Amino acid sequence: MLAQLPPALQKLHLPLRLKLWDGNEFDLGTDPSVTIVVKDPSLVSDFSHPSLDLLGSAFVEGRLELEGSISEVMRVCDELTAALVDEDDNVVPVRTEHDKETDAKSISYHYDLSNAFYQLWLDKEMVYSCAYFKTGHETLEQAQQDKFDHLCRKLRLKPGEYLLDVGCGWGGLARFAAREYGVKVFGITLSREQLALARDRVKAEGLEDRVELQLLDYRDLPQDGRFDKIVSVGMFEHVGHANLELYAKCLFGAVKEGGLVMNHGITAKHTDGRPVGRGAGDFIDRYVFPNGELPHLSMITGFISEAGLEVVDVESLRLHYARTLDHWSMRLEEKLDVAAAMVPEQALRIFRLYLAGCAYAFSKGWINLHQILAVKPRPDGSHDLPWTRDDLYA
Amino acid sequence: MLAQLPPALQKLHLPLRLKLWDGNEFDLGTDPSVTIVVKDPSLVSDFSHPSLDLLGSAFVEGRLELEGSISEVMRVCDELTAALVDEDDNVVPVRTEHDKETDAKSISYHYDLSNAFYQLWLDKEMVYSCAYFKTGHETLEQAQQDKFDHLCRKLRLKPGEYLLDVGCGWGGLARFAAREYGVKVFGITLSREQLALARDRVKAEGLEDRVELQLLDYRDLPQDGRFDKIVSVGMFEHVGHANLELYAKCLFGAVKEGGLVMNHGITAKHTDGRPVGRGAGDFIDRYVFPNGELPHLSMITGFISEAGLEVVDVESLRLHYARTLDHWSMRLEEKLDVAAAMVPEQALRIFRLYLAGCAYAFSKGWINLHQILAVKPRPDGSHDLPWTRDDLYA
């Protein structure tokens, strides 16, 4: 039976046990911390070239099981693929057309899954984006509040200002900005589940007069410069490379002269957006974020600039997102039984891999997180930003 | 005589007086603050389409004179060209090949002009790059010291570290970092005049054991990762678009894993680097910085990333450079008589326009200044940067 394992596999030394469908076991090293239970015999031949997409897909389909802590599973599976798969296999994926219909479907697929499920492992405010850890030791709850504050500070929000929140999720940031900074907020999302719960929370907090949330596509935003500031968190990843130019123009049209625009989102390692991580991106595209496309920092800053916005402050929070995802993954792993009653088994398998996998991907630098602040200068080139960033840290 | 002025000119209302070679005068508005003295009759027809390059070149060639404060001259001449010249005339200039020989010549043309002349209007440390004004009210001397400190803080310099200064100018930053942060510095320049004076100053301060300066091309930098940190101030503007990829690779090769690289330089408004400002860039290219090429922020961050460096912090200091250039321009204007004895008349005319013109260009947003901090992550994706930027402002 062991002879059936591809020769390439037998040469490896990894803390990995392969358990085959007939009960035979094969250890690739001493003291294995992870076990891959191969339930489908046809998988064995694939193991000579096991991309992370292959392993992940087989897990989602129930053709293999993964045993061990989910973070250790990611680490060992990565070492396995790194030893056997050439990173250069990655090519720039074919990008899909993004229109309002496909975007609405893609967003609904992920975000309308189950509010209860997301509540299970997100913080209380259900902030579904990179947190901001001031020392690295904060709780997730604290770090998400600090992220809100960091964004509001960067936007130099002042009482009475009108803030647009593009991709408002469950409305945590919109309510925070209204409550703590006294602004009026217009938030948009394409997820009906998010919108319903977000509106409930606005009402529960008595903020209806200051926070208005709508199911709206960014392409339908008013273009009359009515907003003093714009914040977009975890949104541009869904826009698509082909539409980033239009996206930037829509933000430019929505914000007033002298106004600020914050884009906070995941960026690709390479300038052409091709993924790294030996198939990890294919898995994400297939199962997690259909039609998601990560732009490189240079791509998003390019489109922002050409739209007429001036990039004034960029900050990478890559390791903050690794830490955030570690929190999410650990919280989910602690409640797998409860989660299993909320979503289909396949969805749970997808989320287990996706959360642990993205934590790993951020820690390795396969993907990044950038907060990109831009200003729409007045025709004479002026704006109201302070001379330094001191005020962010006062 | 007045009838000879192009009809387009006669319709304008600007605080501008045109004084012709025969003594005739023509005011384009009441209370003119600026006078253009047209000495060459053949210029009149050009005035129907007066690019800033045309006006500037005619001034350098002595075919016209400009009267009024130099900053007001810039403002009024800009309004004149804006009314008569279509901004879309600008096309992407043909980029020259950059090799060591042409780069050495280009650098020498500008920086070897006269140390005494530069001393006349730069601060005492002869810092020839954008200063950092904490409130906007600092003296130039203070703001340049604060810029040094801002750069050293961003680089998280620690005693004993080895810092590479690419394009070290007159050595102000190298000496500051060695003196205030206890680092060892290796600085390079292609200007023999800068190097000579910079070495004198290192010696005068008794820093020979910690600051080594060499006449060296960036392409000849050691590629063994010997430097803990790299700083490059006002340098990438001279590299050329075609060589920015190589430049980024040279920095990557010179810095150790986990090390930091700071690029501080002037960036273009457009992603393809095409200039704005109705011919101002042509003037700069012809008379001030031959073969200089400004990359857009997206271009320089793209090459930095593809070389293997991760962009972690970007800050625009556009209005700081406008202020810096205002200082330089005013200092020069106050000492025109002394300056006239140091450099040829044509050079002085060039510098008067270039300093006032660039101050104006930064204030209008035709060009920008970005400090771009990048890290060379270790193979496992880790680095030693703190979680936040708090330490920069402590």
pLDDT in tens, B43-100: 888 888 888 999 999 999 999 999 999 999 999 999 999 888 877 556 777 777 899 9
Give CA–CA dist A141/A154, Å, rounded: 20
Residue B2: what pLDDT? 47
Q: Evaluate whether residue B95 is within a structural domain.
A: no
Q: Are residues A52 and A129 in the same domain?
A: no
Of B311, B387, B393, which is closest to A389 when you measure between CB atoms? B393
Is B321 or A278 the better-scoring residue by pLDDT?
B321
Most A-contacting residue of B314, B318, B370 (CB-CB within 10 A), to test interface: B314
Yes or no, beta carbons of B315 and A389 under 8 Å apart: yes
Q: Are residues A152 and A240 in the same domain?
A: yes
Q: Evaluate whether residue B244 is within a structural domain.
A: yes
Q: Are residues B140 and B249 in the same domain?
A: yes
For residue B358, indicate whether it is catalytic: yes
Of B299, B310, B313, which is closest to A365 when you measure between CB atoms? B310
Of B298, B316, B320, which is closest to A310 when you measure between CB atoms? B316
Q: Evaluate whether residue A252 is within a structural domain.
A: yes
Q: Are residues A155 and A243 in the same domain?
A: yes
The band of A277, judged by pLDDT with boundaries at 50, 70 and 90, is confident
Q: Are residues A7 and A141 in the same domain?
A: no
Q: Choose the final residue of a domain: A39, A56, A85.
A: A85
Residue B4: what pLDDT? 65
Q: Show which residues on chain B lie within 8 Å of chain A, measured between beta carbons.
A: 132-136, 269-271, 296-299, 301-302, 305-306, 310-316, 318-320, 363-365, 368, 370, 377, 380-382, 387-390, 392-394
Instruction: At A252, list the tokens.
Output: 């430019």
Partner residues linked to B80 by β-bridges: none
Q: Are residues A20 and A137 in the same domain?
A: no
- What residues make up the domain containing A33? 2-85
Query: How far off is chain B from A55, nearest CA to CA, in Å?
Result: 22
Q: Are residues A189 and A333 in the same domain?
A: yes
CATH code where residue A216 lies: 3.40.50.150
Secondary-structure breakdown of chain B: helix, strand, coil percentages, each rounded to the nearest 5: 45, 20, 35
Query: How far off is chain B from A156, nearest CA to CA, in Å?
Result: 16
CA angle B238, B239, B240 (to 5 degrees): 100
Q: Are residues A51 and A118 in the same domain?
A: no
Q: Are A355 and A325 in contact (CB under 8 A)?
A: yes
Most confident of A274-278, B22-26, B226-230: B226-230
Q: Choose the final residue of a domain: B85, B117, B134.
A: B85
Give CA–CA dist A239/B73, Å, rounded: 46
Residue B66: what pLDDT? 95
Partner residues linked to A268 by β-bridges: A296, A367
Which residues on chain A are in Cβ contact (under 8 Å) with B299?
298
Residue A265: what pLDDT? 98
Mean of pLDDT values over B173-202? 97
Is B131 or A276 the better-scoring residue by pLDDT?
B131
Is A273 or B182 the better-scoring residue by pLDDT?
B182
Q: Are residues A290 and A362 in the same domain?
A: yes
Q: Evaluate whether residue A92 is within a structural domain.
A: no
Mean of pLDDT values over A143-156? 98
Q: Evaluate whether residue B350 is within a structural domain.
A: yes
> Does the structure's ipTM exceed the value 0.85?
yes
Q: What does the buried/exposed string (b/e) look like for B286-298 if buried means 16 or more CB atoms within 10 Å of the residue's CB?
A: ebbbbbbbbbbbb
Residue A231: what pLDDT? 98
Q: Are residues B59 and B137 in the same domain?
A: no
Yes or no, beta carbons of A312 and B311 under 8 Å apart: no
Q: Evaluate whether residue B92 is within a structural domain.
A: no
Residue A2: what pLDDT? 47
Torsion angle of the four alpha carbons A8, A10, A13, A15, in this order, in degrees rounded to the nearest 10:
110
Q: Evaluate whether residue A95 is within a structural domain.
A: no
Q: Choose the final residue of a domain: A29, A58, A85.
A: A85
**Total domains present in chain B:** 2
The band of A250, judged by pLDDT with boundaries at 50, 70 and 90, is very high
Q: Evaluate whether residue A249 is within a structural domain.
A: yes
Q: Are residues B188 and B285 in the same domain?
A: yes
Q: Are residues A67 and A140 in the same domain?
A: no
Does position B3 have pLDDT exceeding 60, yes or no? no
